[in-house]
Chains A and B, each alone.
Chain A
Amino acid sequence: MTKKAESTLVFWIFLAPALFAFIMVMVIPFFLGSYYAFTNWTSSARADNALRFVGLKNFVDSLRDPAFLYSFGITFVYTILNMVAINVVAFALALLVTGNLRFKNVYRVGFFVPNLIGGIILGYIWQFIFNNAVPSLGTLIPGLGFLADPDKLLLSKNTSALAAMVIVGTWQYAGYIMMIYVAAIENIPQELIEAAKIDGASQWIRLKSITIPLCAQAFTVTMFLTLVNSFKQFDVNVSLTSGGPSTMLMGKPILGTELLALNIYNTAFISNKLSEAQARAFVFFLVLAIISIIQVYVNKRREIEL
């Protein structure tokens, strides 16, 4: 065996486990799932269990369900709020910890740590904070009595519960995005900033005309990450609100903070409609793919090559 052939073989053998896993848990389920979306598949032993092709029925049923349409809307709102909140906070933190701050490495670690806590646990921790810690603050501190008012609890209304989810999402994710911004900011050539200083540019002008344009590549990455992650939000949603509180749409009470991923899960496992959930997941994939391609395209055009 020649040296070259051997290294090619080794290359493929080392790649094999990852490739095997990718095909088994991503490629095959994707195509199998897309196929099931057009059938009456249930993955259970019902009496009338024969697998039948049902055409577009699952898609039509999904689009007729107010809860699914509502989930779509609320997911868009959540994604936009979350993207803005995370990126603004993360960029501000990045500016902070790249400046002349003492203990800045401690801050960097501190801001990053929430990202290492799993979403389910994070949801329960914040549920405790919103439902127990905040109201007890209200009873302890005289001027803050309104915090203990059950009607004013963040998780008691669907609009404020959505805001609560944005708070938790930002708390969890801003530190991670901050790290990307830190790397980008530290890569900006110092001579540009020094030249601008000599020209008398104020701090705001330097930020607006040098730092932000030169971080455009980072923005492409962070926008993509926050967009996809917010759109796919599931674990915090489950543990923090379980989709509640309820709200009304088209004269029907529905769950008020049920994001798309949770709606798909509930359709599959509470309503026992696995194939309809597959159809929803397929729509979900298409929409997310289109939005992220547009986002990357728009962001790419703003990037500057030095």
Chain B
Amino acid sequence: MKRIALVFMVLLTVSAAFGAGKLTLMQNKPEIDAQLKAYAAAWGQKNGVTVVVKSIGGTSGGMGPQLKADYAAGDMPDIFAFDGLESYKEWEGLILDLSKEPWVSKTSVAFKYNGKVYGFPVAVEGWGMAYNADLLAKAGIDPKTLTSYDAYKKAFEKLDSMKDKLGINAVVSMAASVEMGWVTAHHNFNSLLSNGLPYGDLSVTNDLLAGKVDAQRLQEYADWVELLFKYADKTILLTGNYDAQVGAFATGKTVFLHQGNWVDPNLKAANATFKMGFAPHGSMKKVTDGIFVAAPSFYAINKESKNVALAKKFLNDLVTTPEGNQYMVKEAGMIPAFSGVNLNPDGQLSKSVQEWAAAGKVYSWNQYYFSGDFRDKVLTPIYNQFAAGKISKAQFVELMTKAFKDNAQK
């Protein structure tokens, strides 16, 4: 009998449940994981609660699977990140209305739906064409003139002819492999949706969602994509991953980089000391003098959480306490989405985004109005085919048009 008792003891110990009274946060920026954990630990100590931070990044869908698994297991986090309308809809029944929170009046980029605020903007991010100012100066090109397709075309041709003199491999560092679909089918795609339109204008987006394609706009956009692909480093374009793409720019092997200000820490790690900034996308014939700036993701509070009050306080403290501000801006290096935060991030590209935003020269992010399915499984292969030269520009336009029409019929 002793043996049996022993087995039972072991089973009991193993199955013993433990742990209660904690606040769980799941977020999608692994690059700030360490900083957020440190801040959350300090905040938790002050407020007498253990804050558990789970960070899961990656391309579209990155955090989704874990969130769904946790939801199915009845272990939904108290605070979780989502990136826009499509993911909001996925969790609509669970997201708490935050319209009455004190931070709402201090930001213009909170996530709103039907006039109510549902998402706390994590930061402000932006992308355009990141340029190496030193190389541009050497080639005698003023980045301020880069605001339209024709200006870019001339600049790219000139830079391409000076390759040896500048010591570059290619003009642009662009990635179009399937793994990097978020660069083409998310970020670049947004040029088609919002470039040159007033901030928050959804006319083009809604037309495309309804299957109505503005042929002229799409044609000009296709010219821009072709230009980028033509002057891109071909190895990086077809097979490069994030490291390869950012690395080529960081080491001065390309003049332009098609990424956003989140590459600042990577550039710092690679000891890139040259002067840099953002120039607008040249996806149109007309001048489009602005870059794409918005909140990349939002924190939502789980309606069914037992710690709603604490979760609200956690978000509010980020905005209103010096420790919270210090964490957001200096530790995590993010551009604050709130007025009254008087700190500035150190990265050059982040500063450039702030300058564009301060000047009011910004275009919105509308790509999240399209489903992940549409962007990653329909558009990504089209861009990839075009990049590999397997389809012509005319076919690209045709396939894009067809994709929008099919999408509208679903």
A127 pairs with B241, CB closer than 8 A: yes
Q: CA A243 – CA B178 in complex, angstroms?
A: 7
Q: Which of B333-380 contact A (CB under 8 A)?
A: 371-373, 376-378, 380
A214 within 8 A of B: no
Give chain A interface residues in 142-192, CB to chain B under 8 Å. 150-151, 153, 155-157
Which B165-205 residues have a C-beta within 8 angstroms of A? 177-179
Q: CA–CA, A229 to B381, complex, Å?
A: 27
Chain B interface helix/strand/loop/mixed: helix
**Is the C-beta of A27 less than 8 angstroms from some C-beta in chain B?**
no
Q: Report how far A66 CA is from B372 CA in the complex, Å.
A: 18
Tell me which residues from 202 to 247 in chain A have a Cβ below 8 Å from any Cβ of chain B: 241-247
User: Do A43 and B384 have beta carbons less than 8 Å apart?
Assistant: no
Instruction: Decide if B133 is an interface residue (CB 8 Å cutoff).
Output: no
CA–CA, A150 and B8, complex, Å = 62
Write out the residue numbers on chain B whose beta carbons fall within 8 Å of the beta carbon of A256: 381
CB distance A46 to B61 under 8 Å? no
Docked Cα-Cα span, A280 to B93, in Å, equals: 27
Q: Does A270 contact B (CB under 8 A)?
A: yes
Say if the beta carbon of A47 comes within 8 Å of chain B: yes
Q: Does B11 contact A (CB under 8 A)?
A: yes
A253 touches which of B1, B240, B381 (Cβ 8 Å) = B381
> Is there contact, CB below 8 Å, between B235 and A270?
no
In the complex, the answer to whether B1 meets A269 with C-beta atoms within 8 Å is no
Task: Please state if B93 and A45 are interface contacts (CB–CB under 8 Å).
Answer: yes
Determine whether the beta carbon of B94 is less than 8 Å from that of A156. Answer: no
What separation, in Å, do the CA atoms of A237 and B380 have in the docked complex? 17
Size range of the interface on A? 35 or more
Q: Does B274 contact A (CB under 8 A)?
A: no
Interface residues of A in 82-119 (CB under 8 A from B): none
Verify B399–A150 contact, CB threshold 8 A.
no
- How far is B390's CA from A248's CA once the two chains are assembled, in angstroms? 9
Q: Which residues of B contact A271 (CB under 8 A)?
A: 371-373, 377
A254 at the interface (CB under 8 A from B): yes
Among residues of B, the one whose C-beta sits closest to the C-beta of A241 is: B178
A196 to nearest B CB, angstroms? 51
Number of A-B residue pairs with CB-CB distance less than 8 Å in the complex they form: 132
* Nearest Cβ on chain B to A79's Cβ, whole angstroms: 21
A25 within 8 A of B: no
Q: Are B178 and A253 in contact (CB-based, < 8 A)?
A: no
By a CB distance below 8 angstroms, the chain A residues around B207 are none
Closest to A157 in B: B388
Most central of A13, A127, A256 by chain B CB within 10 Å:
A13
Q: Which residues on A sit within 8 Å (CB–CB) of B381?
A: 244, 246-247, 253-256
Q: Which of A49, A155, A270 contacts B93 (CB 8 A)?
A: A49
B64 within 8 A of A: yes
Query: How many Å from the CB of A54 to the closest CB on chain B?
Result: 16
- Per the 8 Å Cβ criterion, residues 8-47 of A in contact with B are 9-10, 13-14, 16-17, 42-47
Beyond A150-B238, A254-B377, A270-B61, 20 additional contacts (C-beta under 8 Å) are: A6-B4, A10-B4, A13-B8, A16-B11, A43-B68, A44-B90, A46-B92, A46-B93, A47-B92, A130-B239, A153-B235, A155-B177, A242-B179, A244-B177, A246-B382, A246-B384, A253-B399, A254-B381, A255-B178, A270-B372
Q: Which residues of A contact B (CB under 8 A)?
A: 1, 6, 9-10, 13-14, 16-17, 42-47, 49, 67, 127, 130-132, 135, 150-151, 153, 155-157, 241-248, 253-256, 266, 268-274
**Can you identify 30 A-B contacts, CB atoms within 8 angstroms?**
A6-B4, A14-B7, A43-B69, A46-B92, A46-B93, A131-B239, A132-B244, A135-B235, A150-B237, A150-B238, A150-B239, A155-B238, A241-B179, A244-B178, A245-B238, A245-B388, A246-B381, A246-B384, A247-B385, A248-B385, A253-B378, A253-B391, A255-B380, A266-B376, A270-B60, A270-B372, A270-B373, A270-B376, A271-B373, A274-B68
